[in-house]
Structure 1
Amino acid sequence: MSSELRHTANTQTAQLHSRYTGTGHADVTKYEWLTNQHRDTSSSIVGHPALLQYLSIADGEACARMKFELTERMLQPCGPPPPKDDE
């Protein structure tokens, strides 16, 4: 691969990561990756009315209540972050 193509690919990857934070990179921790997955799933359910209605019927809740719970769950979908190892 030529240097110019490699530079273009790296630039495109950097732009993708800056635009979509959930795409990850080499230094993403397991917690961050899981958090992004859970947030993406919750936002997809909230954004698709048919999925939201299906889930609300399955849980026996109102659609507005289910939407509220999913939105609240996006704050910390996997619980509090693990302690960081400061050296």
Structure 2
Amino acid sequence: MSELRYTANNSLEQLHSRYTGTGHADITKYEWMTHQHRDTLASIVGHPPLLSYIAIADGETRGREKFEVLERMLQPCGLPPGKTDE
């Protein structure tokens, strides 16, 4: 049984090191949401038909929409919450 647990933990660590957006045991809600939003925004920029769809919906050019999406990637969920001392 312990061998299975070791294998599961090892594969989970490999998954986390390969894909940074998968998080870890101590990830905060803010960090997780930021990863999800950035991943979505990167997908929009990386798929030209999706970028065109968003540009048409907003009534902007593709270049302007791409610029705005890249700007949103800086802080997609706003400022980080303040640190609490516990």
- Which residue of structure 1 aligns with residue 60 of structure 2? 61
Residues in 2 aligned to 1:85 and 1:68: alpha-carbon distance in whole angstroms: 35
CA deviation map 1:7-30 (0-9, x unaligned) = 111111011111111112232211
- Which residue of structure 1 aligns with residue 47 of structure 2? 48
Residues in 2 aligned to 1:15 and 1:85: alpha-carbon distance in whole angstroms: 31
- Which residue of structure 2 aligns with residue 74 of structure 1? 73
Residues in 1 aligned to 2:84 and 2:20: alpha-carbon distance in whole angstroms: 23
Instruction: Give me the TM-score of the superposition, normalised by structure 2.
Output: 0.91
- Which residue of structure 2 aligns with residue 6 of structure 1? 5
Identity %: 72
Residues in 1 aligned to 2:3 and 2:63: alpha-carbon distance in whole angstroms: 51
Q: CA RMSD in A?
A: 1.1
Runs of 4+ in 1 over 4 A off after TM superposition: none
Give 1:6 shift.
1.2
AA aligned opposite 1:83: G
AA aligned opposite 1:40: D
Structure 2: give runs of 5+ residues left out of the alignment.
Answer: none
Work out whether 1:27 is the aligned partner of 2:4. Answer: no
Give 1:75 shift.
0.9
Instruction: Give me the TM-score of the superposition, normalised by structure 1.
Output: 0.90
Residues in 1 aligned to 2:71 and 2:50: alpha-carbon distance in whole angstroms: 17
AA aligned opposite 1:46: V
- Which residue of structure 1 aligns with residue 82 of structure 2? 83
